[in-house]
Every structure is written in C-alpha cells, then in structure tokens.
Chains A and B, each alone.
Chain A
C-alpha cells in the first residue's frame, strides 16, 4: 500500500460546480497534512494546511478524518483558473519524512 494515495482523475467539471478530492494515508501517527497545487509544468505551491478541526479559505475547505486516515479538499464554485493538479502531502512523523501523493488532476470547463 502506498503511503499516500490519491485518485489521479482527471475530474472534469463545469464552471460553478462543487468538487471534492480525497487522499488516504497509511501511517496513523501522521501529524500534519497539506494540499499543494501544481499548474502544468510549474512548481508546486502550498494551497492550504489541514488542521484537525478542518479549515476553510474562501472557496476551499480542507478536512481531516483521523479515524479513517484520509483528508479531503472541497472546492466550491469552481473557476477555470482552478484547473491544476492537487497534491496531497503528509508529514509521516517518523524519520522526518514528508510524503507527496501523485496528485489529482482537475479540469474546469466553461
């Protein structure tokens, strides 16, 4: 089992739609979680950290479910500019290891 797994997609959605991605992780002791965004042929950039209580930043909501060992990212009112690959990142808390998922591709169409 991979340490961090994501549905690769692509998720093809119309503008204005709500879309959600899940990411599962293998180590129950993991302490911190992030979503990064990567545009085509560009570097990853931090979108948001995921806190245990869940957090929201505008149209983006991230949630953590420790019991089931997954984190989610919800995007409301999708924009064309949201088209990108979303990377789930987990700090494994052992060996100082940050593990990146392979990413979920989102395509928002007009």
Chain B
C-alpha cells in the first residue's frame, strides 16, 4: 500500500497563477483533509471531506477550493496564488473523521509551494 500520495512535491508559482494539488489514498478511508504548515505554527486545517461528495471549511479556507473527486482522491486548488500562500501543504486521511475521538490521521509527504 502506498498510503497517502501527493503531487507535486515542489512547485514555484508567480502571483496570480493557479494550480491544483493532487492527493490520493489507498486505505479506503472515509475522511480526507488538507493542511498547511508554516514555520513556528502548527498545522492548520484548510478544508476537509467527511465522505465522498461532501466538503467543509476548516480554519483557513480563504483563497482555496477543494474537490472530493471520489473516495480515493481529494484535490486542493489555488485559483489566484498569493505570496501568503507560500507554505508546505499536507494531505491526510482517516478512517472515521473529526467527530471520532480516537481517529488517527495518516499524512502524505507534503507539497512545498513557493509563490513569488
């Protein structure tokens, strides 16, 4: 099993450009998440999807859109990139979801995005 995979691993964008970060999991998990990690700060939730066909905003959703394409795939789109979106982006999945207290999250390797 590959677990959670993300593409690309690295990306440099110019301000105003758009791009989509791809995420896929092969563990048959119901819930998937997108986080960003910035220096000196904890991971912050951007969006999550409790099941195929549903998505919800997290703590920092502005400037992002998501699509839960099927049970395996959850993509994150930046429509008009800004320097403030320079960060490391992690996708994660879990069997149950945020409402389940002992739910373990499995993370992908991350995408390092720089917006100039």
Contact between B105 and A46 (Cβ–Cβ < 8 Å)?
A: yes
The answer to whether B40 touches A8 (Cβ under 8 A) is yes
We find that the number of chain B residues with CB closer than 8 angstroms to chain A is 20
Docked Cα-Cα span, A8 to B110, in Å, equals: 22
Establish whether residues A4 and B42, one from each chain, have CB atoms under 8 Å apart when the complex forms: yes
- Closest residue of chain B to A32 (Cβ to Cβ) is B101
Within B65-116, the residues touching A (CB, 8 Å) are 90, 97-99, 101-102, 104-105, 107-110
**Option from A42, A100, A102 in Cβ contact (under 8 Å) with B40:** A102
Is B60's CB within 8 Å of the partner chain A? no
> Is A43 in contact with B109, judged by CB distance below 8 angstroms?
yes
Interface extent on A, as a size class?
Answer: 20 to 34
- Flag if A96 contacts B90 (CB, 8 Å): no
- Complex contact A87–B102 (CB within 8 A): no
Q: Residue among A4, A34, A45, A102 with the most chain B CB within 10 A?
A: A102
- Judged by DSSP, the binding face of B is loop
Determine the residue in chain A with the shortest Cβ distance to B104.
A46
Contact of B110 among A4, A43, A91, A97 (CB under 8 A): A43
Once bound together, how far apart are the Cα atoms of A86 and B41, in whole Å?
Answer: 13
**Residue B12 at the A interface, CB < 8 A?**
no
List A residues 37-83 near B (Cβ within 8 Å): 41-46, 49
A96, B47: Cα distance in complex, Å:
12
Is A49 a contact partner of B102 (Cβ separation < 8 A)?
yes
Cβ–Cβ < 8 Å partners of A46 in chain B? 104-105
6 contacts between A and B (CB under 8 A): A43-B90, A49-B102, A98-B45, A99-B42, A101-B42, A103-B42
Apart from the given pairs A4-B42, A32-B101, 9 other A-B contacts in the complex at a CB distance below 8 Å: A43-B90, A44-B43, A44-B107, A46-B104, A49-B104, A91-B101, A96-B99, A98-B98, A99-B42
